[in-house]
Copies of this chain bind each other. A is one copy, B any other.
Amino acid sequence: MEKFNKNTLDKRKPQHLYVQLFNLIRDIIIRGELKDHYKLPPIRSLAGRLEVNNSTVVNAYRLLEKEGYVYKKIGSGTFVSPRLEYDNEDVILEKYPAKDDLKLMDQGQIQIRKDMISFASATPTPDLFPVEAFKVLLNEVLDRDKGEVFGYQESQGYFPLRESLTKYLKNYNIETKPENVQIISGAQQGIDVIAKALVEYNDRVIVESPTYTGAIGTFRSRGAQIISIPILEDGIDIKKLEESVRVNKPKLIYLMPNFQNPTGYSYSLEKKKKILEIAKKYNVLIVEDDYLSDLVFNKKENGTLKSLDKDGLVIYIKSFSKIFMPGLRLGFLVMPPRVYHKILRAKHTSDISTSGLNQRVFDLYLRRDIWRDHIHHMEKIYKIRFEVMCKSISKYFSESGLEYNIPNGGLNFWFKLPEGLNSDDIYDKAVKKNVLIIPGNIFFPIVNENSYFRLSIAAVYPEQIEEGIRILANIIKGYNKEHIRDSYTPLL
């Protein structure tokens, strides 16, 4: 708090100054930076330093007291409330993530120091979320439905929401019915519920290599054998896929046909059709994780497998995390009728139902087409980042020896290092320069593959992108030289 000055609070923000101050001090207390019983500065002196009215500080302190963060002693001041003891060595909050936590970071689960340039997080920054619009609808829902919002919720999901999703899906050429829609608490739960419903111990599941780490975790947890098939720039290796399906008779094939995570690759229409043929021929179900097909920047090439699925072979997973609000925990499945009962039972065993409030608010979002506006808004923001990213890559990476492919949309870029370079080392060097990347090995379920890394533009601002790419290019070039010098040394 010693560093507080007239620029600490932002007078142009719509948020009240006392609320801003409350948040600041609360965060400092939560982070443990103030000792128990630490005396907060006197009201006048703090108000003076911040150049605000005394009442701003008075109100902030009052709120802190109300919330239990501080206590007052009449006549002597305001003090930080003693915290509970934290002697559990198991849990350490780190300033930046340990490499083991990268999987969590990929899913937005690690909070990152604000001065870092994070190409690691695949989750949008909170400033992009449409909070005010949400608030209006939320109050409307509470006034309309009252206690019903918190009472009984159908396991399959709030019927009107399933209905409005059905309409929304028509925009993406998916014809379905509310009866075939299952509401889920985010895409990860979608994978989990499908695995519970359909994958038994020792069953085989085919995935792309590399693929989404959360899916691997879930299939592993079911005791499944995971078989991975390489993905190429136009989609999974079809020959290897068919051979593997024939030999291994998998229960499921888990795919991300558009802007695949981590590669950003999209399947060609031919491959999409061929995959459905294979699924039909061998009677195997496909799980299509459509986590981001809405974000197209270069050309309209983002048809889903589900929109081509005439035989009821595709289970379609869609969440609203990436471009809406990750904290909402909301998504849905479109199911072929033959798996309906199993999926419903699995959802029920998982968490009975998804939060009724969030479902009802999101229903209004769709019915009133606010959703469409929001997508367009996000598209604009991300298109700027995408273009800055493309320019920076071409400016700094063209002589780096990196191999890469510019995707048509989505948020991920995938790079192959020149031979001899190791993504873990690049990670270590980048962290020291305040740049976060994700080394590729976490996306390979089976082999240890150290020559790739992923950059995501979800949580970097345009002005950070060029700087970050420049730093990475220098690391790679420097490393390259160093490495080449090192390897030549014995010969001198």
Name A residues whose Cβ lies closer than 8 Å to a Cβ of B.
Answer: 15, 19, 22-23, 30, 66-68, 84-88, 90-91, 104, 107-109, 111, 123-129, 131, 134-135, 138-139, 142-144, 146-155, 159-160, 163-164, 166-167, 177-180, 185-186, 188-189, 192, 196, 200-202, 214, 217-218, 221, 223, 325-329, 337, 340-341, 345-346, 348-358, 364, 367-368
Contact = CB atoms under 8 A, between A and B. Distances in A.
B151 A129 contact: yes
B180 A88 contact: yes
A163 to B, nearest CB: 7
Q: Please list the 8 inter-chain residue pairs (A to B) with the smallest Cβ-Cβ separation, ordered nearest first.
A: A126-B147, A150-B325, A126-B151, A327-B356, A150-B327, A201-B201, A189-B351, A129-B147
B153 A326 contact: yes
Contacts of A348: 104, 107, 109, 188, 214, 217
Contact of A329 (B87, B154, B164, B354): B354
A109 B327 contact: no
A84 to B, nearest CB: 5
Given A68-B164, A108-B152, 19 more contacts: A15-B143, A22-B144, A84-B163, A84-B166, A87-B177, A88-B177, A88-B337, A91-B179, A131-B146, A149-B327, A151-B326, A152-B326, A185-B185, A192-B350, A196-B221, A327-B356, A328-B356, A329-B353, A355-B358
Contacts of A355: 185, 327-329, 355, 358
A350 B104 contact: no
A30 B358 contact: no
A465 B87 CA distance: 51
A102 to B, nearest CB: 13
A119 B60 CA distance: 49
Contact of A138 (B109, B138, B354): B138
Given A326-B151, A367-B68, A349 B179 contact: no
A131 B160 contact: no
A69 to B, nearest CB: 9
Contacts of A349: 188, 192, 214, 217-218, 221
Contacts of A90: 179, 337, 340-341
Contacts of A185: 185, 329, 351, 355
B177 A111 contact: no
A221 B349 CA distance: 9
A201 to B, nearest CB: 4
Nearest to A112: B152
A445 to B, nearest CB: 14
Nearest to A359: B327
A107 B347 CA distance: 13
A131 B126 contact: no
A180 B87 CA distance: 11
A128 B109 contact: no
A23 to B, nearest CB: 7
Nearest to A22: B144
A367 B151 CA distance: 24
A164 B150 CA distance: 22
Nearest to A192: B350
A433 B196 CA distance: 39
A318 to B, nearest CB: 15
A326 B150 contact: yes
A464 B357 CA distance: 30
Nearest to A220: B349
A318 B353 CA distance: 17
